[in-house]
Amino acid sequence: MPRYALKIEYHGAPFVGWQRQTDLPSVQGAIEAALGRLEPGPHTIAAAGRTDAGVHALAQVAHCDLEQDWKPFRLSEALNYHLKPDPVAVVDCAMVPDDFHARFSANERRYLFRILSRRAPATHQRGLVWQIKHPLDAGAMQEAAQVLIGRHDFTTFRSTLCQSDSPVKTLDHLSVSEVGTLGGTEYHFDVRARSFLHNQVRSFVGTLERVGAGAWSPDQVRRALEARDRAACGPVSPPEGLYLSHVGYAEDPFG
C-alpha cells in the first residue's frame, strides 16, 4: 500500500481547525472527503501538527496510505479538483517510505505570526493578520523574545487545555522583524522548535505585543516565564495572524 506525503496550504477561517470533528468543517475532514472520491474509504490522514480554529498553513504536512499506485502529480491534481471550493490546496506531493510519519518523523515546526499596524480597517489582509491601531517597538520585542529562547518550563505560556505530558520545551528560535507595506506596518514573528504546547506561540505574541506597545518591560517577560503560572501570561493573540509555515524532516520528503 503506497504512502504519500502531502504539503498543504489552507486558509483557516472556515474551519474549526485541522482535526476532524463530527458535523463541523475541518481541514482534515475536507482532505479525507476528497480522498474518498478517489478511492473507497474510510480514510484517515495524519498531520505534523493540529492547528486551531482560524489558524492558517503555508506548508502543513500530512501523510496518507492508498491502494492505488498514484503518480504524485496526478494525486495532487485530483485532490485539488475535489477540494474545491474549500480554501485548501495540496501544493506538493511525494511517495514516501512506509516508515515515514508526518508527525513523528518531523524534527522541526516553524510558525509565522503577522501583526498589521494601521488605523484604517484591513481589506485585502482581513482575516490574515492581527490588526492593531498603534505602532510597536520591534527592538523591545526582539530584546524580550531572547528571554524565551532555550529549554524552559513554559507553563506560563501554555493553555490550560494543553494535553502535553510536560510543560518543558526547547524553543530554538524567536525573532521579531518590522516590515513596511503599502497599507501600514507589519511585524513578523518567526518561531521555531521541535514541538510546541497548545497556544504557546499565540501566548508569546500576545505578551510580546504588550512589550512593543510599552505596557510591559522586557524584564516582565522574564518574570512571567519564571513564574510558571498561566495567570502571569499577557493576553493571548487571536488566531488569524498565525501560520504553520514549515515542517522539517531529516530528509525532505519533497526533495
Given the residues 52, 92, 153, 190, the one annotated as active site: 52
8 Å CB contact between 150 and 171: yes
* Cα–Cα distance list, 52 to 56, 122, 166, 180, 244 (Å): 9, 22, 20, 28, 11
CA distance 181 to 52: 28
Helix axes 138-145, 200-212, angle to 10 degrees: 130
Give, for 47, the enclosing helix (H) or strand (E). Answer: strand 46-47
Decide: 179 and 187 in contact? Cβ < 8 Å: yes
Q: Would residue 52 show up in a list of annotated catalytic residues for this protein?
A: yes
Residue among 196, 193, 218 at smallest CA distance from 207: 218
Is the previous residue joined to 85 through a cis bond, with omega within 30 degrees of 0? Answer: yes
Catalytic residues: 52
